[in-house]
Structure 1
Amino acid sequence: MNWRSMPPLSALRAFEAYASFGSLQKAGDALSVSHAAISQQIRNLETHLNVALLDRSGRQAQLTDDGLALAAELKRGFEAIGNEVQRLTTKDAERPLIVSTTPSFAANWLVPRLADFRAKHPQIDVVIDANPSISEFGPNGPDVAIRFGQGGWNGVEALLLVTTRRFAVAAPSFICDDCPTSPADLARFPLLQEVGTSESSLWLAKHGVCDAGQGGVTVLPGNLTLDAARMGQGITVTAGIWVQGDIESGRLVKLFEDDEDFGYYIVTRTGVQRASLKAFTKWLRAQV
């Protein structure tokens, strides 16, 4: 197609609107411009084509044969464009929003707040994939992931949501008189770890607990890990925000703490986001 020979799109739109409504005023209202602007666009189109599209000899201008032919083709063309735009903008409307996150984050932060999102966006169906495994973004993957770390991941957009440090905690009844004095001491205690995540294992390795689990390791889903710790079944390393209330109430004792901040990040693939994802990420940010 020779784009340089094509008339301006604004002129074609103005002429098609006039042909459809039969009135300069109605065409202008449809395109949010004045009727004088529609008239000028049509004259510009006639000049560009060197063809009379309107017969202005009578009281009411009439489409010429050339004008009728062009109007019919423009109507078909604009309708085809409109149908395709509609298909593209609504193709994902019925697909649920898939949120991938760790069981701990889902149980302790997301699910308790989710009713607020449902109330504000009842038209958006949400699937919470509380799975510690990292899934690839794509047509069959999550729309957004909420992950623990320090950001800076390649190939994705990551926005900090909540800052926290990692705590090693246990129930007072579990520690009794045998309180560890250094992270290395944890190797001789029963440990509780969340399935599939690396937060606790990385923390233990960082503090030289390479032979963790001499006292046994129990691997549990995130929400059950803290329940087991509260019942005095072992020591766990977890995000401080999940256990702050337990520490303040005395249900758990903080044994050790990170010396640097980590956080939970909203992670999405780069590029255009569908409307439901924009609404969800905006809501997430508003929660903090």
Structure 2
Amino acid sequence: MHDRLPPLTALRAFDAAARHMSFAKAAAELNVTPAALSFQIKGLEEHLGAPLFRRLNRAVELTEAGKALAPGAAEGFDALRRAWMATRRSLDARTLTVTAGPAFTAKWLAPRLFDFAQKHPDIELRFSASLRLVDFDRDDVDLAIRFGMGGDDAGVYSRVLVREWLAPMVAPHLAERLRVPADLLKLRLLDDGNLDFVRPPCDWAAWFRAMGVADPPEVTPQFSQADHAIDAAETGGGAILGRISLTTKALQDGRLVIPFPTALTTRAHYRVLCPAGAEQKPQVQAFLSWLFDNVGEFAAHDRQMSFIDAGDVGT
């Protein structure tokens, strides 16, 4: 038995057939005829000196040799695909693909994208609103904005973007009724449920304890998306313990106000990440520069607040 590799086209045909367990579906994926695909696989079996498939009446199944080859073939083509995509991205100085959470995209990024487009008309900006863990190779993403407690960012460029804080926020007409923090208990307290992972907790109960209101409040309704809770608060549906990262525009426009300027700070924060070295690419540099220039607007709100660390509140 010799070690010379068979033709790549034959291995590609085998990989597709092994994934689909169908010559017809594999042929459709590769845009060839079933006869042509069968010919490629037959040649691969002759090269190996053993069958890779058992041909049944209307189906195929892998032989032991096929089962041994299939995982390596799949991994090999996946590695080739990733390498090809990475090489294309390294040569592309015009396209920039950014991923961020749906709420941050809707409430902070999207309203400001026209400004970036005006300043950088040569850059084609693409967005993916997602919370899943990013794989820069698999997902064809250049830059990720993620919120959390931080983690192991070895091998990537990582920089803190926004330090988060939370404070009660309501529609202006509701603020007129509020004199002391306990008055908030007369309103419906909205919860987006997206900070359940934060430790120590940074929620309504913690804020009321910080303000000396002992009785834990009933929080309802709960929203699965933070931007939906913000929308409900803007229309007068209740009070939200608003995150400054998501509510800056609403506060600037007067759609929300902060009746009591005491905020909880949390160790959770936004950070921006990209593959190590990719931060030097012209389009990534341009976006990072624009991004950090714009997050400076949070400082204006910071100066109006007093802060209490959620970790100092207790339970």
TM-score normalised by the chain length of structure 1: 0.51
Matches within 5 A, 1:120-269: 120-149=119-148, 153-155=152-154, 156-171=156-171, 181=181, 189-193=188-192, 202-204=201-203, 207=206, 214-219=218-223, 221-240=225-244, 242-243=247-248, 246=251, 249=254, 251-255=256-260, 256-259=262-265, 263-269=269-275
Asked if the contact 2:195–2:202 (Cα under 8 Å) also holds between the matched residues in 1, the reply is no
Structure 2: gaps spanning 5 or more residues: 1-85, 209-215, 297-315
Residue aligned with 1:115, SS: helix
State which drifts further: 225-234 or 129-138.
129-138
Summarize the Cα distance change of 1:213–1:260 in structure 2 as closer, same or farther, 3 Å threshold: closer
Number of residue pairs aligned between Structure 1 and Structure 2: 201
Cα deviation for residue 107 of structure 1 reads 3.0
1:197, 1:130 → 2: CA distance? 20
Residue aligned with 2:274, SS: strand
Give deviations 1:62-116, integer Å, cap 9, x for gaps: xxxxxxxxxxxxxxxxxxxxxxxxx957765288422111233323332233223
Residue aligned with 1:138, SS: coil
1:123, 1:130 → 2: CA distance? 22
Residue 292 of structure 2 aligns with an amino acid whose one-letter code is R
Summarize the Cα distance change of 1:88–1:134 in structure 2 as closer, same or farther, 3 Å threshold: closer
Asked if the contact 1:151–1:160 (Cα under 8 Å) also holds between the matched residues in 2, the reply is no
CA RMSD of superposed structures (Å): 4.6
Matches within 5 A, 1:33-182: 88=87, 92-93=91-92, 96-149=95-148, 153-155=152-154, 156-171=156-171, 181=181
2:109, 2:195 → 1: CA distance? 19
Give deviations 1:205-234, integer Å, cap 9, x for gaps: 88299xx98442231544433221122213
Cα deviation for residue 195 of structure 1 reads 5.9
Give deviations 1:115-155, integer Å, cap 9, x for gaps: 23223333322222223344332242432122335656532
Asked if the contact 1:169–1:235 (Cα under 8 Å) also holds between the matched residues in 2, the reply is yes
Summarize the Cα distance change of 1:240–1:286 in structure 2 as closer, same or farther, 3 Å threshold: closer
Summarize the Cα distance change of 1:254–1:199 in structure 2 as closer, same or farther, 3 Å threshold: farther
1:278 to 2:275 alignment: no
Asked if the contact 2:190–2:229 (Cα under 8 Å) also holds between the matched residues in 1, the reply is no
Residue aligned with 2:284, SS: helix
Residue aligned with 1:233, SS: coil
Residue aligned with 1:219, SS: coil
Summarize the Cα distance change of 1:167–1:141 in structure 2 as closer, same or farther, 3 Å threshold: farther
2:197, 2:249 → 1: CA distance? 21
1:121, 1:248 → 2: CA distance? 26
1:100, 1:224 → 2: CA distance? 20
Asked if the contact 1:101–1:131 (Cα under 8 Å) also holds between the matched residues in 2, the reply is yes
Structure with bigger gyration radius: 1
Summarize the Cα distance change of 1:149–1:176 in structure 2 as closer, same or farther, 3 Å threshold: same
Cα deviation for residue 198 of structure 1 reads 5.3
Summarize the Cα distance change of 1:206–1:142 in structure 2 as closer, same or farther, 3 Å threshold: farther
Structure 1: gaps spanning 5 or more residues: 1-86
2:251, 2:114 → 1: CA distance? 24
